[in-house]
Homo-oligomer: A and B are copies of this chain.
């Protein structure tokens, strides 16, 4: 069954006129006549009979028209839904972020996003930078906010902001007596790192490499709480995001150690798959982030 022919037939009956059906289909009247005729021929059934000037459905035509009504109602419904997707009146933003970004950056971004597009459902996935990068590659998430990593060539990234990590030690640690230390002094020092795949870990290690220092990594952990506890017990030092240990710093159970070479600064990137065209919500999110960045962080000259 040729559905173009069915549509011609349907509109002829609905509008009770070949001419009006043609207008609605944006074709000329003979096109409609031909379509309906060849439809009848292909079905081997008469559908419409002329009684004088009036047209009348045969039994088969009557039944077919009822089907056509249902069919084209579904089609128009589907069309509308597709337009909704385009107009961001429907859909889901599936985005990933590291724990830190999910906590400190995403809330404001997503609330602005939901203000702009209240009909879009947001699913926020959490994991370390490497996992998130992988989820983008696997198209589980379309976007992810992660720390700078060596990324697969298939992933594109958009610089979003910088993050500073500070050196943290127990008040009992000898560094805590000092005003500031040099990175070099970390050589051989017991250091606690985040797990493999962490963007901050990568940034820290990069810094070490840059300065040619080799601290002794006594522990790797993915749990920030664990690392905090371990540093408190003076088992080693670590690098952290200050807001994460606000309470400990206030209570004095942890100390920030100034570094002569400056804190560890690394980049926050919004990443996405380079070969995949983004869904409208992701597209919109990306666009929004570019806008906000321009507003908040005016580019340096």
Contact = CB atoms under 8 A, between A and B. Distances in A.
Interface in A1-38: 1, 3-4, 6-7
A63 B81 contact: yes
A67 interface: yes
A49 B85 contact: no
Contact of A59 (B60, B91, B277): B91
Interface stretch (A70-78, A196-204, A206-214, A228-236): A70-78
Given A3-B75, A74-B70, A49 B82 contact: no
A293 B168 CA distance: 109
Contacts of A7: 3
B139 A79 contact: no
A64 B75 CA distance: 9
A265 interface: no
Contacts of A51: 138-139
A85 B71 contact: no
A154 to B, nearest CB: 12
Interface residues of A, number: 38
A46 B91 CA distance: 13
Contacts of A70: 74
Interface in A70-112: 70-71, 74-75, 77-79, 81-82, 85-86, 91-92
Interface string A37-69: 000000111100101000010111001100110
B1 A4 contact: no
Contacts of A258: none
A151 B188 CA distance: 117
Given A59-B91, A59-B279, A60-B81, 9 more contacts: A3-B4, A46-B276, A51-B138, A56-B139, A60-B85, A60-B279, A63-B85, A64-B82, A67-B77
Interface of A: 1, 3-4, 6-7, 43-46, 49, 51, 56, 58-60, 63-64, 67-68, 70-71, 74-75, 77-79, 81-82, 85-86, 91-92, 138-139, 276-277, 279-280
